Structure 1
Amino acid sequence: MRIASQRYENLLLFLLFFTVGFVFFDRLSINFLFPFMRQEFALTNSRIGLLTSALALTWALSGFLLSGYADRNHRRKHVLIGAVIVFSLCSISSGLASTFAMLLLARALMGLAEGPVLPVSQSLMTFASSEARRGFNMGFIQASAGGLLGSVLAPAILVPLATTHGWRIAFYCAGVPGLVLAVLLALFVREPTRAHKDAPLLPEAPSSGLIAVILGNRNMIICMIISCLYITWFLAIVTFGPTYLLEQRQLSPSAMSGFMTVLGISSVVAGFAVPALSDRIGRKPTMFAFCAVAALAPLVLAWLPGSVTTLCVAIFVTYLGYGCFPIFLATIPAESVSPRLVGRAIAVVIGTGEVIGGFVSPAAMGFTADAIGPSAPFAIAAGCAVLAMLTSLFLKETAPAKRSGQDVDSDLLRSQAIS
């Protein structure tokens, strides 16, 4: 029985790795194509920020609403498949846009489709994971997948396509893999049963109960704050980085693509290594150390002198801080609330970060870049990572191997009582 369970755990890990990975492939593709689209759509930094913000806002809203529906009605599989199909079609529609307004609408619709994918995927992975591998699994399907497909393969594939065939063809190609994945998910993913060994049979949580759990749980509040700060850090780099490297640091398109690919390789390594380290030494010390490392990444991109090789080595090391993402977005929330609330808890943390860090911050950073200078977003990003590092000091430890006190357990018991 355990062998069959482990086999399914590995199969689900594989499928969700590519599912979440292609979400980030489609979401981040536009950042690498901005330089090719800039003249046609008159893309100022402010407009670039608005495109990022529109997707983040709709992502946050649909993530909370649809993941809540999936949790309550035990329809995680169906919500995930539907979301994958729609976001793939929306990626294709971005290539059909002829005006800035149409492009803005296409990105907003994509956000609606992509929002539930990550919290629902992490909820499915939580139920299927063995305790010793929970941090690794959740990091692998989020940070490593997002890094490999969104930051390594996306620039390596889309920049050459846009250079030779145009940016519209690049968007069309970005949407196709998701349709194939939807078929595989339908064939192989299983809906967790209500009597799952990790999910006690408790009455369903009302929305007021969920709010009480969130507001009464220190880790949830801390993770929401860090989410706002860290998503600001991330989007500053991936949204404004490619254009800054081309126009301000005078890198060639191939050198820019290479730099962003190295950044993506770093995120792949960090995506499984940092959460796996947190399984051993604890979530809290891992968060503190790698937030400090992350603060250096935007400084490298904007101001570190030297050759392209020097910049690539420096960004590889400093971007390892990306590995914090699955810890505060998924693992700590999942370990801090009742299993019945995992999907919604993760969606709340992601949604809060997307509204502030994903919706408000990119637009604000775009206007700041136009008003003060193109390096302004990177100074803001570094400051946000430092604040995230300091905020992580207030976390309660949740790693099973390191949890010795009763603080987290008491929060968990309260959430189970409410749910």
Structure 2
Amino acid sequence: MAIRKLATYENTLLAVLFLTFGFVFFDRLALSFLFPFMAQELHLSNRHLGMLSSVLALMWAVSGAFMGAYSDRRGVRKPYLIAAVLLFSLFSALSGMVTGFVSLLVFRAAMGLAEGPVLPLSQSLMVEASAPHRRGLNMGLLHGSAAGLLGAVVGPPVLVGLAGAYGWRTAFYVSCLPGLLIAWLIWRHVREAPAQRHGRAEAAPRADGPGASPLAVLRQRNILLCVLISCVFLTWFVIIISFAPTYLVSVKHYSPGTMSAVMSCLGVAWVVWGFAVPAISDRVGRRPAMVGFSLLAALCPLAFIYVDSPVALGAAVLLSYTGLGCFTLFMATIPAETVSRGAMATALGLIMGVGELVGGFVSPTVAGFASDRFGLPVAMWMSAIGALVAGVLSLGLVETAPARTRAPDIGVDIPSPL
């Protein structure tokens, strides 16, 4: 009976957090899909697009790293997660009221501050509730598939359709509504967890235990490598997702509808690979999965350059957009299996924060300036190099998959509902 209750809560939590993080990416990617509609009215260029993506990533980095460490010290996740969902929904809607680049920059920065804590808080809750044999799959569904389904499959047709029918401002306004429902679901169904699960206490006190500094956590080899991988893999991701819609319209001369269809193929690949890569890693190991799928992901941005047919490009994207499954591994699963529970959100926030700072903040700005001077293909080459370097760095990871090691379970007991 107790095991059944734990499994039921595990599935319920997965469903709620799936919606939560998926909606984060619905809002985050909205600007990329709506940019072709906004650019002329607001006098925006590729440089502005890169800066808008960068400032949001910078705020993700700051708030994610800070709140990850703060929640570990307080031992609290749920109220911060509810507040984050409500705030980023509000600021996303306010993006529809902008009158120029500066005001849009301010609202996107505020939205980034609110969104940053969602990933480390959500993944910490999910790890604590997951059985060891489902850890990779659960985190893949939450981190990869949720963002892909709601952000990149549902997002393009919904946002482009609303923008075409009612204007891009209305598309931003409507984007805030699901946040209210999601905040209620978190309040109703998510609960905090104590420091044990299945009656098994955590291992003996460790240097990276509760209250550990980010520097102490960073001394672990896997954490340092995951931070470096995050920097280059976020370069791959943010450049593709920020510049691909504009690239398809302005360079490939696709119609908005065709662009939306290709981007939806990217979203389908995101969903499939988002859970397939972590699930495969549960069997073959984290390191082999990271190496192989990172190198495959490097081909995706090159497809945007060299494949002209929309149908062929869609197929190429489906086969090569594997990186978001890798994201689950280096940004959540591997660090969660490396550090103690008391330092988990600190590690996740650090990896996400530094990665967003370099790959999410610096890279798209550089890509935007370079694209205005040398053309948009240079941005896609930057993206490909990022995934290639991630594959090389992954060779140094220490294996953590329970099926490939004898690592102890790190889970915790889940309290019964009030």
TM-score (norm 2): 0.94
Q: Counterparts of 1:220 and 1:135 in 2: how far apart (Å)?
A: 17
Pick from 381, 384, 401 the counterpart of residue 383 of structure 2: 381
Alignment-mate amino acid for residue 143 of structure 2: Q
Pairwise CA distance, 1:199: 4.2
Range 359-368 or range 195-204, more displaced: 195-204
**Structure 1 residues 188 and 199, CA gap change in structure 2 (3 angstroms):** farther
- 1:77-226 equivalences in 2 (<5 Å): 77-196=78-197, 197=200, 199=202, 205-208=210-213, 210-214=214-218, 216-226=219-229
> Which residue matches 1:416?
none
Gaps of 5+ in 2: 411-418
Pick from 238, 241, 244 the counterpart of residue 241 of structure 2: 238
Q: Counterparts of 2:104 and 2:242 in 1: how far apart (Å)?
A: 16
Q: Does structure 1 conserve the Cα–Cα contact (< 8 Å) formed by 2:294 and 2:322?
A: no
Pairwise CA distance, 1:302: 1.9
Alignment-mate amino acid for residue 260 of structure 1: M
Residue aligned with 1:190, SS = coil
**Structure 1 residues 335 and 248, CA gap change in structure 2 (3 angstroms):** same
Alignment-mate amino acid for residue 256 of structure 2: P
> Residues 298-351 of structure 1, C-alpha deviation per residue, up to 9 Å, x if partnerless?
00012223x211111111101123311100000000001011111110110011
Whether 2:366 is the aligned partner of 1:364: answer yes
Pairwise CA distance, 1:400: 0.5
> Which residue matches 2:310?
308
Residue aligned with 1:9, SS = helix
> Which residue matches 1:278?
281
Pairwise CA distance, 1:206: 3.7
Residue aligned with 1:336, SS = coil
Q: Counterparts of 1:27 and 1:133 in 2: how far apart (Å)?
A: 28
Pairwise CA distance, 1:207: 4.7
Whether 2:336 is the aligned partner of 1:331: answer no
Alignment-mate amino acid for residue 259 of structure 2: M
Q: Counterparts of 1:251 and 1:168 in 2: how far apart (Å)?
A: 23
Pairwise CA distance, 1:181: 0.5
**Structure 1 residues 193 and 224, CA gap change in structure 2 (3 angstroms):** same
Q: May I ask how many residue pairs the two structures share in their alignment?
A: 404
Alignment-mate amino acid for residue 276 of structure 1: A
Alignment-mate amino acid for residue 191 of structure 2: R
> Which residue matches 1:25?
26
- 1:43-54 equivalences in 2 (<5 Å): 43-54=44-55
Pairwise CA distance, 1:83: 0.4
Q: Does structure 1 conserve the Cα–Cα contact (< 8 Å) formed by 2:73 and 2:211?
A: no
Q: Counterparts of 1:337 and 1:50 in 2: how far apart (Å)?
A: 34
Range 198-207 or range 7-16, more displaced: 198-207
Q: Does structure 2 conserve the Cα–Cα contact (< 8 Å) formed by 1:71 and 1:340?
A: yes
Q: Counterparts of 1:83 and 1:141 in 2: how far apart (Å)?
A: 17
Pick from 292, 296, 300 the counterpart of residue 293 of structure 1: 296
Q: Counterparts of 1:379 and 1:200 in 2: how far apart (Å)?
A: 45
Pairwise CA distance, 1:194: 3.4
Q: Does structure 2 conserve the Cα–Cα contact (< 8 Å) formed by 1:61 and 1:112?
A: yes
Alignment-mate amino acid for residue 394 of structure 2: S
Q: Counterparts of 1:336 and 1:263 in 2: how far apart (Å)?
A: 31
Q: Counterparts of 1:327 and 1:390 in 2: how far apart (Å)?
A: 15
Q: Counterparts of 1:132 and 1:40 in 2: how far apart (Å)?
A: 51
Pairwise CA distance, 1:201: 8.2
Residue aligned with 2:150, SS = helix
> Which residue matches 2:414?
none
> Residues 142-182 of structure 1, C-alpha deviation per residue, up to 9 Å, x if partnerless?
11000001100110100011011100010111111011100
Residue aligned with 1:337, SS = coil
Pairwise CA distance, 1:69: 1.8
- Which consecutive segments of 4 or more residues in structure 1 shift more than 6 A? none
Whether 2:397 is the aligned partner of 1:392: answer no
Q: Counterparts of 2:111 and 2:52 in 1: how far apart (Å)?
A: 11
Q: Counterparts of 2:190 and 2:82 in 1: how far apart (Å)?
A: 10
> Which residue matches 1:343?
345
Instruction: Give me the identity figure in percent.
Output: 48
**Structure 1 residues 325 and 66, CA gap change in structure 2 (3 angstroms):** same
Alignment-mate amino acid for residue 83 of structure 1: A
Q: Does structure 2 conserve the Cα–Cα contact (< 8 Å) formed by 1:127 and 1:198?
A: no
Q: Does structure 2 conserve the Cα–Cα contact (< 8 Å) formed by 1:198 and 1:339?
A: no
**Structure 1 residues 243 and 369, CA gap change in structure 2 (3 angstroms):** same
Alignment-mate amino acid for residue 278 of structure 2: P
Q: Counterparts of 1:134 and 1:365 in 2: how far apart (Å)?
A: 35
Alignment-mate amino acid for residue 299 of structure 1: L
Alignment-mate amino acid for residue 147 of structure 1: G
Alignment-mate amino acid for residue 357 of structure 1: G
Alignment-mate amino acid for residue 317 of structure 1: L
Alignment-mate amino acid for residue 118 of structure 1: L
Q: Does structure 2 conserve the Cα–Cα contact (< 8 Å) formed by 1:293 and 1:320?
A: yes
Pairwise CA distance, 1:200: 5.4
TM-score (norm 1): 0.94
Alignment-mate amino acid for residue 210 of structure 2: A
Pairwise CA distance, 1:235: 0.9
Pairwise CA distance, 1:74: 2.0
Q: Counterparts of 1:271 and 1:198 in 2: how far apart (Å)?
A: 31
Q: Does structure 1 conserve the Cα–Cα contact (< 8 Å) formed by 2:293 and 2:326?
A: yes
Q: Does structure 2 conserve the Cα–Cα contact (< 8 Å) formed by 1:195 and 1:201?
A: no
Whether 2:17 is the aligned partner of 1:16: answer yes
> Which residue matches 1:71?
72
> Which residue matches 1:415?
none
Q: Does structure 2 conserve the Cα–Cα contact (< 8 Å) formed by 1:61 and 1:115?
A: yes
Pairwise CA distance, 1:205: 3.5
Alignment-mate amino acid for residue 50 of structure 1: M
Q: Counterparts of 1:6 and 1:135 in 2: how far apart (Å)?
A: 15
> As a proportion of its length, which structure holds more helix?
1
